[in-house]
Amino acid sequence: MGKTYIRVDDRLIHGQTIVAWCPALSIKEIIAIDDESAKNPMLKSILTMGVPQNYKTHIVTTEEAKKLLKEESPINRLVIVRFPEKLEELKEEMEQVEMLILGNIAKRPDTVHKVSGATGIFYLSDRDVSIIDEIASKGIEVCFQQVPTTSKTTWEAFKKSIN
């Protein structure tokens, strides 16, 4: 059975996804979950135009993603969401997740935590922290990492820095 990885990256599918993450994780299927993009043919086209045909690619709504993720897959999948709050809607589907990788997360009005260093700059709200805490408490590895070749910050290290 294939493995499922989740990446939080507000850019969804972009160059780093294709040239760094997919090869490093042996990804064969990309599932980008974004209700707005899934309903807009132009945005879907823009998100997938740089994706080689050897990757099965989906730009889907949350409901469509739930159906896809319930299906067992023999290949490795990379699920991408823009912000941690989307993960709250996917609780049941996250039971089989190998790792949660926090990527580019832009500053928003409610963000109060900033993580920066060799791994990039990430902004989280208190709600984001709570959502990710719940995921980490289930034994899923959580880390901040821009690309696979850069150092990563563990969730535990981040938590110590804010306490």
- Minimal CA–CA distance to 129: which of 17, 6, 8, 35? 8
Reported as a pLDDT band with limits 50, 70 and 90, residue 94 is confident
- Position 100 pLDDT exceeds 90: yes
Pairing relationship of beta strands 111-117 and 120-125 according to DSSP bridges: antiparallel
Name the residue range of residue 8's domain: 4-162
Which secondary-structure segment (H or E) carries 56? strand 56-60
pLDDT tens, position by position, 53-87: 999 999 999 999 999 999 889 999 999 999 999 99
pLDDT tens, position by position, 15-48: 999 999 999 999 999 999 999 999 999 999 999 9
CATH number (domain holding residue 77): 3.40.35.10
Which secondary-structure segment (H or E) carries 3? none
- Buried b / exposed e along 31-65 (16+ C-beta atoms within 10 A): bbbbeebbeeeeebeebbeebeeebebbbbeeeeb
What's the predicted TM-score (pTM) here?
0.94
- Position 119 pLDDT exceeds 70: no
User: Domain tally for the chain?
Assistant: 1
